[in-house]
Amino acid sequence: MKLVLFATLATVALAAPDFNGYQAPEQTYIVPDQSFRQETISVAEQIPILRDDRVQEETGHYNFDVETANGIIMSQSGSPDGPEGSVVKTGEYSYTAPDGTPVHIRFVADGNGFQPEGDVLPVAPEFPHPIPDFVLRQIEKAREEDAAAARSGSASVRSDTSAPAPSLYYSSPE
């Protein structure tokens, strides 16, 4: 028994990695030259905040208004009046894009998600718009499959009871 124990310890000791010959990799980081650093520092100017009004009530209602010297304005209010106590937010923000375009966005965030509105946001084409042929063929194929399943008496491929509908709301982890 002692011989087996001694042999096991000797095997483990010989199998241990040798860190004495370890060579750390050479550093490859290059410090930027002085002109690059000065250029970067001058670009990162500090913009003063002209107004920062915040109200946080114990009921969960809040309101804030922020305005900076470079023309960024943001206003938002919220309340825990959503489903299951979720926060409903409304607000707006505006700024000037780098190309000089004024941007003004109004939004609501509630049980239906974040819903922005603004002239600069892309708009989906008006409906009804032309439906591509491949979509029409897919719809027709699904209709034919449902009709064939109804004639044979078997359940439809698209059963409403196959899986539960996903939840529209998130809840706290338990």
Distances 53 to 64, 82, 122 between C-alpha atoms, Å = 5, 24, 32
Element (H, E) at 15: helix 2-15
Flag whether 21 is in a domain: no
Element (H, E) at 58: none
Flag whether 41 is in a domain: no
Which pair of tokens denotes residue 113? 């998600």
Flag whether 108 is in a domain: yes
What is the edge-to-edge ordering of all strands in the sheet holding 62-68?
49-56, 62-68, 73-79, 88-96, 102-110, 113-117
Query: pLDDT tens digits, residue range 25-46?
Result: 676 666 666 666 555 555 567 8
Residues 6+ apart with CB under 8 A from 76: 63, 64, 89, 90, 91, 92
Count of structural domains, the chain: 1
Flag whether 122 is in a domain: no
Q: Which domain holds residue 94?
A: 49-117
Q: Which amino acid is at 83?
A: P
Q: Is 75 exposed, middle or buried (0-12, 13-18, 19+ CB in 10 A)?
A: middle
Query: pLDDT tens digits, residue range 47-91?
Result: 899 999 999 999 889 999 999 999 999 999 999 888 887 889 999
Flag whether 68 is in a domain: yes
Q: Is the pTM of this model over 0.85?
A: no
Q: How far apart are CA 19 and CA 96, in angstroms?
A: 58
Flag whether 156 is in a domain: no
Residue of higher predicted confidence among 160 and 73? 73
Flag whether 4 is in a domain: no
Flag whether 43 is in a domain: no
